[in-house]
Amino acid sequence: MKLLLLGHDCRYALEQLCLCLFPDHKPEYTEEPFTGDGVVSALWTTETGALARAEIRLDGRVAIAEQAFQGESLSEPMRRQILRQSLYLAALELLPEAPAWGALSGVRPTKLTTRHLLSGGDEASADRLLDETYFVSPVRRKLCIDSSLATVQAMQLLDARDLSVYLGIPFCPTRCAYCSFVSQAIGRSGKLLSPYLEALLKEVRFCGEELKKTGHRVRTLYIGGGTPTTLSAEQLDVLMGAIEESFDLSALLEYTVEGGRPDTLDEEKLRVIHSHGCTRISINPQTMCDEVLQAVGRTHTAEDVCRAFRQAREAGFTNINMDLIAGLPGDTPDRFRDSLARVMDLDPENITVHTLARKRSSDLFFEKVGLPDDEAVGEMVDYSIKTLQNGNFKPYYLYRQKYMSGSFENTGWTKPGYPGLYNIYMMEEVHTILSLGSGGMSKLNLPGGKLERQHNPKYPKEYTERIDLVIEQKRDFFRSLAAL
């Protein structure tokens, strides 16, 4: 799909909206008039206002829409707004139905409503903002606002010198077909695990010592992956023991370990994890249909999920998260409804419902056989919203991704009193995140809402070989942190 801009250079915002509205037609910029499918977005400005006009040509059909601005000064946000609105309103004439998220294309829609609430707005005015400016559907408006309310509440627990810590374990039993993370299948890369853990322990000890000098408090700690429980019970004991020795965890609000794959969990590992003060664990089936599990490359069964959940309860866990994915190959609305029912019967404190995102680095990006269509995925996601709301769950964080089926969303749902705080703080970027391990991205929150990012090497082997350089880079991070 060609994209021609006339009278403006608002490339990114329009490109992202095109990808959401027409995901099968990648925008390609052109500076010349063209024939065939494409978008012409034009902007005219005068001393008294501006006019945005969008013309979309698709499969022999043409749609045109305009949005006007009245006033002497056209701000940059307003310029983007009327350009997006004209494009969206033209697209409505060509799409079979209005998109659930309207003209919103960003991955963090809650940032709009959170900022609005923090600046003195209320739920009603936030709803008007999403409706009148971005044309978001009523169901998604409520999701967004409820998630922002949870964010505002979570932010009230923080002081200025608080932060969160993330540790990455980039290994899994097998690689799932939908996975886009940098993770290694342990069967092929097991020899990397021990040296990787040794390097990670070195980073843990260094960061623990440096953090104590800054006077910052660790409020949430998250061990993710990959699948951290790919580590043996002994390795988990060593890692979590080093964390306890290196970091002051006396002010910790939440400590999460992603169990993720039930085929990596047993009674011994769960006891070890719980004994080191972990307060929240994830046991993620993704689906409770064995056929779908097999289709995505998972070697466990739905019964394994139930077994791991029971063992986690017996080990003492009172806060368990479970993930489901809408849109997996071979799944259907009926199968998804059954999966959700079986997960709810287990009675976890959190249920996260993801929409399948076909990432470029995943096998499913190229192999789309058996994937449910957007209508079926929408039926799954909408059913989960109604069912979880009726089951006394509330949304506490929400985000979107590129190449997501139907351009829907991922939503974390919680029973009262059990929001995943790390997920809120990380996704809403409300305070500094210190990330350790390969692929880790530390985010230093600077005055004025700016972020300074620092990346660890992406791959485990590279991280292990360059751990001394990683530590040197972390010195710069802590110098900046201490200066705040």
Residue 360: band (very low, low, confident or very high) from pLDDT cuts 50, 70, 90: low
Tens digit of each residue's pLDDT (9 = 90 or more) over 199-249: 999 999 999 999 999 999 999 999 999 899 999 999 999 999 999 999 999
H or E stretch at 153? helix 138-155
Tens digit of each residue's pLDDT (9 = 90 or more) over 171-180: 988 766 666 5
Q: Is 419 helix (H, G, I), strand (E, B) or coil?
A: coil
Q: Is 382 helix (H, G, I), strand (E, B) or coil?
A: helix
pLDDT of residue 177: 67
pLDDT of residue 185: 57
Q: Is 65 helix (H, G, I), strand (E, B) or coil?
A: strand
Q: Mean per-residue pLDDT for 7-23?
A: 93
- DSSP bridge pairs for 29: 3
N-term to C-term CA, the chain:
46
pLDDT of residue 73: 86
d(C-alpha 67, C-alpha 43), whole Å: 10
Could you tell me which residues come within 8 angstroms of residue 257 by beta carbon, excluding any fewer than 6 positions away?
223, 228, 229, 273, 278, 280, 281, 282
pLDDT of residue 449: 80
- Which range among 120-134, 289-303, 357-371, 468-482 shows the weakest confidence by mean pLDDT? 357-371
Residue 361: band (very low, low, confident or very high) from pLDDT cuts 50, 70, 90: very low
- DSSP bridge pairs for 433: 164, 443
Q: Mean per-residue pLDDT for 465-473?
A: 97
d(C-alpha 403, C-alpha 25), whole Å: 11
By CB atoms closer than 10 A (0-12, 13-18, 19+), residue 325 is buried
Q: Mean per-residue pLDDT for 14-41?
A: 93
pLDDT for residue 365 is more than 50:
no
d(C-alpha 351, C-alpha 404), whole Å: 19
